């Protein structure tokens, strides 16, 4: 399996770096040997990336985000990790909290929350095993956390590559390559991934985490085998039901909106932007999970809306225009007085990190949210 550095930085990563002032160099795109993500299927639709809505970011949103930032800071422990309830020292929750700060342009050495990002990075780098797995002893279903941690490392590397801390950059690059190699090597015969780093069974929920981790690394200039993404796409397609929603695994099962959001996002992050499967999945989400309709939150609320808002953003147009104001206002209205959003299963650090990532989509800083 070949994962090599390439002599280019993708335009999407360069744009993000310019946005946060991390570099001022132009980027030139070349396709590395061995292939990358599959080509876009069909004529591209305009996403929300370069088509902001009027009043996307409101004063109320800015106040909620800053209040959330302060609350999340208080939940970080001395060693740099976040967790909660049954998930102490959790690499996945730590990565998501770090991504929430990255979404505002905070980086190691830059921004009001630079220290929080640096400490999260140090914790995650310390958790990288020789095999490439990013996990702590208390991790449950380590490939979930590994996928989110790989995404965080890819975003930091893409937004800081060429920065002044060359020793850290080298260590970050080496960890990212090892993490991606583990993902590629543990893909199962169906094309997906499951809880543990062994190529046995698979499910949509864990698979999207690995796809996003690989996409982030690819955006940052790490070569990812095209065959890995092609097989992942085939797996995700096989999990879609006739109603447009997605079941948990290839075996027969019903649709549910959180994993359906993950299924749609999987196709988008695999490089497919126009496809009948995406259209059916988006329609399913609108019919079953549209925010601000008085529906009970239910389980996997933050998980589902994390992927749903990304899917609507990448779909753009009326999908984004209808979804964004509703989920923005719903989250602002459900923020606790202490600035957190609580998740009944994983705790306030997880819920707050997810809510902050969702609320900051229109800032357009993170490379992963750009084509």
What CATH number corresponds to the domain at position 343? 1.50.10.20
Whether the pLDDT of residue 138 is over 70: the answer is no
Instruction: Please compute the mean of the pLDDT values over residues 113-135 and round it to a whole number.
Output: 97
Q: Would residue 5 count as lying in a domain?
A: no
Domain that holds residue 325: 11-37+49-365
139: closest CA among 127, 150, 154, 131? Answer: 127
Whether the pLDDT of residue 18 is over 70: the answer is no
What domain count does the chain have? Answer: 1
Q: Would residue 4 count as lying in a domain?
A: no
Q: Would residue 201 count as lying in a domain?
A: yes
Q: Would residue 161 count as lying in a domain?
A: yes
pTM (2 d.p.): 0.88
Q: Would residue 167 count as lying in a domain?
A: yes
Q: CA 245 to CA 289: how far, in whole Å?
A: 11
Phi, psi of 131 (to 5 degrees): -70, -15
Q: Output the average pLDDT for the chain.
A: 88
- What pLDDT does residue 40 have? 41
192: closest CA among 182, 178, 203? Answer: 203
Residue 323 in contact with residue 58, Cβ under 8 Å?
Answer: no
Q: Would residue 290 count as lying in a domain?
A: yes
Tell me: the pLDDT tens digits for 49-104?
888 999 999 999 999 999 999 999 999 999 999 987 777 889 999 999 999 999 99
Whether the pLDDT of residue 313 is over 50: the answer is yes
Q: Would residue 230 count as lying in a domain?
A: yes
Q: Would residue 43 count as lying in a domain?
A: no
């Amino acid at each position: 399996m070949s994962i090599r550095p390439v002599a280019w930085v993708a335009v999407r990563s360069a744009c993000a770096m310019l946005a946060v002032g991390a570099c001022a160099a132009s980027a030139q795109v070349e396709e590395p040997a061995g292939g990358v993500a599959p080509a876009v299927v069909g004529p591209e639709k305009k996403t929300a990336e370069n088509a902001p809505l009027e009043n996307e970011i409101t004063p109320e949103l800015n106040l909620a985000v800053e209040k959330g930032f302060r609350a999340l800071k208080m939940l970080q422990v001395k060693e740099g990790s976040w967790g909660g309830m049954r998930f102490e020292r959790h690499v996945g929750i730590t990565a998501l909290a770090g991504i929430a700060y990255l979404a505002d342009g905070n980086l190691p050495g830059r921004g009001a929350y630079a220290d929080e990002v640096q400490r999260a990075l140090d914790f995650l780098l310390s958790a990288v095993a020789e095999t490439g797995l990013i996990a702590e002893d208390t991790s449950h279903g380590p490939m979930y956390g590994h996928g989110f941690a790989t995404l965080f490392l890819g975003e930091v590397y893409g937004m800081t590559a060429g920065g002044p801390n060359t020793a850290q950059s080298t260590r970050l690059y080496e960890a990212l390559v090892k993490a991606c190699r583990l993902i590629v090597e543990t893909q199962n015969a169906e094309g997906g991934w499951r809880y543990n780093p062994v190529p046995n069974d698979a499910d949509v929920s864990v698979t999207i985490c690995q796809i996003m981790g690989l996409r982030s690394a690819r955006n940052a200039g790490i070569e990812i085998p095209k065959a890995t993404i092609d097989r992942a796409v085939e797996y995700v397609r096989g999990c879609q039901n006739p109603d447009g929603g997605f079941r948990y695994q290839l075996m027969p099962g019903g649709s549910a909106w959180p994993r359906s959001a993950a299924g749609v996002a999987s196709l988008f992050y695999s490089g497919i932007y126009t496809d009948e499967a995406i259209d059916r999945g988006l329609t399913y989400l609108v019919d079953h999970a549209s925010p601000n309709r008085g529906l009970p939150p239910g389980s996997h609320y933050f998980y589902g809306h994390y992927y749903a808002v990304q899917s609507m953003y990448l779909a753009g147009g009326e999908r984004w225009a209808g979804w964004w104001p509703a989920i923005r206002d719903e989250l602002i209205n459900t923020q606790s007085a202490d600035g957190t959003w609580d998740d009944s299963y994983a705790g306030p650090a997880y819920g707050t990190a997810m809510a902050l990532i969702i609320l900051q989509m229109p800032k357009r800083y993170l490379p992963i949210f750009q084509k």
